Structure 1
Amino acid sequence: MKIALLGYGKMGKTIERIAVERGHSITARIGRQDDTVENIKGADVVIEFTSPESVLDNLFKVIPAGIPIVCGTTGWNEYLTEIEELVKKSQGSMVHASNFSLGVNLFFELNKKLAQMMQSFPEYEVSMQEIHHTEKKDAPSGTAITLFEGISEKLGKEKWHLGTQSEEDSIAIDAVREEDVKGTHSVAYKNDIDSIEIIHKANTRDGFALGSVIAAEWIVNKKGIFTMKDVLGL
């Protein structure tokens, strides 16, 4: 399979290594000097990991070109309906996810299950924390938002707020930025007696890269907009 990389930073280089290990070839590495989005022509699929400032422009160029795209950039959820309409109009195909790690997607499902169990125990107060590297621009992370959505669905908490201060009917999300952290997410339920906490910690970028390549393998010859839940059959 021929893959074009949109974004060639640390993540793009990790995706390249894993894709090549799985027998694929890289036809474009857009993000280097003199590279343009037009260089995606001839690719079987595009994998996009860039920034919230450039992701929409990239999607509006790639989707109408008829090339399947795997998008791992976060921070653009408010435009999702618009992108869904573009995919449908263009008869295109796209996998988007707040996190492509196989472990994190299992963590999402575990989070929903735990929240469902905690419905009957309102004496426990729920809170969340996410820790990322200092270069990450969106806060809270897209992964944290997805975790919140799983909790909100089960506990009826419709709002979140940044910080650790408790607010009625709102879940606190503590967003921490530290040097060289690949990504740690935790969900905690606490009362005066005890606490319950689940944690996912990424040790390397390989999990995100592997998941995006698996999604790229899966999306070929499909039409529509999908998530990692579709890819993994969860």
Structure 2
Amino acid sequence: MSAVTEQVIRKFESRMKLRAEDRAQIAALPFKVRTIDASTYMLREGQRPVRCAFILDGLAYRQKLTPNGEREIVSILMPGEFVDLQNLFLDESDHDIQALTRLTLAEVPIPALRLFVESCPTAGQALWIDALVEASIHREWLLNIGRRNARSRLAHLLCEFSVRFRSSALVGGMAYELPMTQEQLGDALGLTPVHVNRVLKSLETDGLIARKKRQVSVVDWPGLRDAAEFNERYLHLSQIRG
């Protein structure tokens, strides 16, 4: 069994208990591994999806564009997550997906993944859970940008990064490399890069975080949580099987 197959099986097993035959079916999926550079488009709005990707390494993001080219980043995708599960059953993409960092992907043709889901209900339930958790994160992002002030918005995203990085084993502590530029943070939070820079400095001045270039260390987790009004319930971490 390849390392890629083992990683995908671990993903499914983090959601549901698998039988030996379930694991065999996952191992039989025609995954193709490829690496793409940062900023590469994986899918553009209006395109017909032909494959679904599992992120082995790196980060990606979804974005929507206005007719005049203004961007809103609507979600971040991390290692161990499937990209665009909704496109298993939708005929065209309604948004762009772009590599945030250099990405290594395990891609499977959509027809093969559909047949697998139909023949393996347990795996189908696991993918359902993933899709529903992502929908929950979307709702929280909508609340964040619609009802929180700039300081809370940015603090909330920093809290989310910390929790999601730790849950996906990307980092072991309370420090991580911030994966987004200040322009990208602004596009995710509805703020200008200047405003993002000002808020980052205020969080640092208040002793909630420390920064060294792109490295962010959470110095005062309770304080950052309070500033963010952060409750990790929306991440549904209890749905991850040990």
Q: Normalised by the size of structure 2, how large is the TM-score?
A: 0.35
Q: Normalised by the size of structure 1, how large is the TM-score?
A: 0.36
Structure number with the higher helix fraction is 2
Structure number with the higher strand fraction is 1
